[in-house]
Chain A
Amino acid sequence: MAGQPIRKPTRLEPWQDPGQAPYVRIEKVTKTFGDFVAVDEVSLSIYRNEFFALLGGSGSGKTTLLRMLAGFEQPTEGKIFIDGVDMAGIPPYERPVNMMFQSYALFPHMTVEQNVAFGLRQDGVAKAEIRDRVEEMLGLVQLAAFGKRRPHQLSGGQRQRVALARSLVKRPKLLLLDEPLGALDKKLRERTQFELVNIQEKLGITFIVVTHDQEEAMTMSSRIAVMNHGVIAQVGTPTEIYEYPHTRFVAEFIGSINMFDGRVVEANGDQVLVASEEAGCELLIAHATPAPAGSPVSVAIRPEKILLSKEPPAGETGVGEGRNRTTGIVREIAYLGDVSIYLVQLPTGKTVRVTAPNVTRRTEMPITWEDEVTLSWRPFAGVVLTQ
């Protein structure tokens, strides 16, 4: 799993700074197609220089939201402001926004240079300047030698970079990217992720990316909005989304997670103790959202936060007999090279997923099929979900 944001926060992030005005403000926007509600009263604030991801499955409304920002669709209700200007009734060709399409939408009857120059020519930029800026952009995406080619003479990765150059050449303040890496193979996708982030930081442009790929969203974005059925389920940094999901949907959509249903036994500040028959032990959670004693909750624990051992571990704070510790039998092991996934069956019948780094080589691994093992986790590992 990914999950390590590559950004180092050095100052107050704009969304935490009350003095910052959002660059893009989406206010209670609803879009319906006939009876189908594609986007349902969505409100969002996106700030300058953000790399913002709209993450969701198909039909979650993320692309419709993006198309409303570009001006290809008009909101049925609600307002969109870009840089403080109400976008209602402003056609796509007058918006300070450019878009990179999922299909790249390169003009097949023009060369790479002509494709990139197209936007500048619409603005009546002088010929010499067009030439310089096209050259500069093609240099930026490392396609300087390909200017005279036609799109069908390029590979998928090259086409993707032409599309990027074309959408950046007008120096938009806001770039919309619809599944920018969707058509690339895995290796190329990973490399391009970093390239995109570098370009975004170098040019200081606000990026809004639509993606269904959670790994992509995690590695690239400053913040993620997880969408489901036209509604925003949660907005936050990759770490927040991954470590502190607000709902079951978010918890299960991002990465994999173990869910234990239970009931709150004791709530003490932000410390919550949950009894779960499914888990076969009590679960102590530090820094949980407050929940009254007796209320039904789910406790979510990421597979990599569970420690797998043959003997009960000693000296772990918050872990003890019957608390944050349970036993089970290893039923399945999937060896992925860097990590292995263990499926451990508890006496209650519940299967728990645990991932552990392969510190030793496979053949020397101490835990194998049908072993009885102890699962334990610290109080900081779990998240209490009330919904």
Chain B
Amino acid sequence: MKRIGFLSWALWFGYAFLYVPIVLLIVYSFNDSRLVTVWAGFSTKWYAELLHNDTLLDAALLSFRVAAVSATLAVMLGTCAGLALSRFGRFRGRTLFGGMITAPLVMPEVITGLSLLLLFVAMEQWVGWPDGRGVTTITLAHTTFTMSYVAVVVQSRLAGMDGSLEEAAMDLGARPAKVFFVITLPLIAPALVAGWLLAFTLSLDDVVVASFVSGPGSTTLPMVIFSSVKFGISPQINALATLMVLVVATGIFVASIVMARQERQRKRDEQMAIQNG
């Protein structure tokens, strides 16, 4: 009994540590007062005001656009990298390449941002592209630092896949490109979706790299939030954050229900197969 008591205490403490800040944020988004830390009764007025705040809404739209495009690009590049690393066989320096693909994961964002800024400035001088800093540079920068996450996810999925599936397809007459699109791609699709969502979230969340490579008129949502905090937090930000939490939570909830259902279906199928076999 004592053990269970300790464990449940640990559980509550851990989850409180994780979720109290978020709960607080949600509660204060319904605060009537302009002062963030003083409770003055329930109100939804900040949500109404949020809908008329063009700066915030534009920034949110821009962020979503950048996140969608960069996640898509990152999935393409990351899949190529993951595929090469897991299917190229053994070659000299394989470990080095494997390590190098994951290095950006632990690289301080400040350094990533700074080096990308230098690259974009240098490229503009040499080839005249990209023309100034803006949406393009942010998208490219986000692609750069999220593709390694995708590569890692895809690589681990490929490593867990039975290599003889691809060999069987080739044995039956499919050329390597066809094998990739008809066999490999459908089988690693879950990893691609996971990688895309991860890249999307990372891009949506990033403020450091975006600050380095953004230009006038291209301010992402995290940048707006971050800079508005300097002039005191508006409860509108709380409302916005609450909406984002809602969206994310719904997404996770739906995904886990779908996965649980598929798992149950698979188990039923297998049971049936065993009985029939």
Contacts and interface: CB of A to CB of B under 8 A. Distances in A.
Same complex for A and B? Answer yes
A122 B167 contact: no
A146 B169 CA distance: 21
Contacts, number: 75
Contact of A153 (B162, B187, B272): B272
Interface string A60-102: 0000000000111000000000000000000111000111011
B266 interface: yes
Contact of A93 (B175, B183, B186, B266): B175
Given A72-B167, A105-B165, A109-B186, A118 B172 contact: yes
A152 B175 contact: no
A119 B269 contact: no
Of B168, B269, B277, which is in contact with the most chain A CB atoms at under 10 Å from its CB?
B168
Nearest to A97: B171
A99 B174 contact: no
B264 to A, nearest CB: 13
Contacts of B1: none
A156 interface: yes
Contacts of A150: 269
A55 B272 CA distance: 36
Contacts of B169: 107, 118
Contact of A98 (B165, B172, B183, B266): B172
Contacts of B171: 70-71, 92-93, 97-99, 167
Interface residues of A, number: 31
Given A152-B269, A156-B277, A158-B277, A93 B173 contact: yes
A156 B274 CA distance: 8
A170 interface: yes
Interface string A36-76: 00000000000000000000000000000000001110000
A20 interface: no
A166 interface: yes
Where chain B touches its partner, the secondary structure class is helix
A3 interface: no
Interface in A96-133: 97-99, 101-103, 105, 107-109, 118-119, 122-123
B170 A92 contact: yes
Interface in B167-198: 167-175, 178, 183, 186-187
Interface string A233-274: 000000000000000000000000000000000000000000
A157 interface: yes
B270 interface: yes
Interface in B226-277: 266, 269-270, 272-274, 276-277
A154 interface: yes
A155 interface: yes
A108 B162 CA distance: 11
A109 B178 CA distance: 15
Given A109-B186, A119-B173, A152-B273, A101 B167 contact: yes
B178 A122 contact: yes
A104 to B, nearest CB: 9
Range for the number of chain B residues in contact with chain A? 20 to 34
B156 to A, nearest CB: 18
A344 to B, nearest CB: 44
B8 interface: no
Contact of B164 (A97, A101, A119, A155): A101
Interface string B199-216: 000000000000000000
A155 B167 contact: no
A155 B168 contact: no
A157 B173 contact: no
A155 B274 contact: yes
Contacts of B274: 155
Nearest to B162: A103
A155 B277 contact: yes
B170 A170 contact: no
Nearest to B167: A72
Given A107-B165, A157-B277, A170 B270 contact: no
Given A93-B171, A103-B164, A109 B187 contact: yes
Contacts of A91: 170
A119 B169 CA distance: 8
Contacts of B187: 108-109
Given A105-B162, A105-B164, A109-B187, A154 B173 contact: no
Nearest to B174: A122
Contact of B174 (A93, A152, A156, A166): A93
Contacts of A101: 164, 167-168
Contacts of A103: 162, 164
Nearest to B266: A152
A70 B164 CA distance: 12
A105 B168 contact: yes
Interface string B145-176: 00000000000000000101101111111110
B16 to A, nearest CB: 42
B189 to A, nearest CB: 9
Contact of B172 (A108, A152, A156, A166): A166
Interface of B: 162, 164-165, 167-175, 178, 183, 186-187, 266, 269-270, 272-274, 276-277
22 contacts: A70-B171, A92-B171, A93-B171, A93-B173, A93-B175, A99-B168, A101-B167, A105-B162, A105-B164, A105-B168, A107-B169, A107-B183, A118-B169, A122-B174, A123-B173, A152-B266, A152-B273, A153-B270, A153-B272, A156-B277, A157-B277, A166-B168
Given A93-B173, A154-B277, A158-B276, 13 more contacts: A70-B167, A70-B171, A93-B170, A93-B171, A99-B167, A105-B164, A105-B167, A107-B183, A119-B172, A122-B173, A152-B266, A155-B274, A170-B173
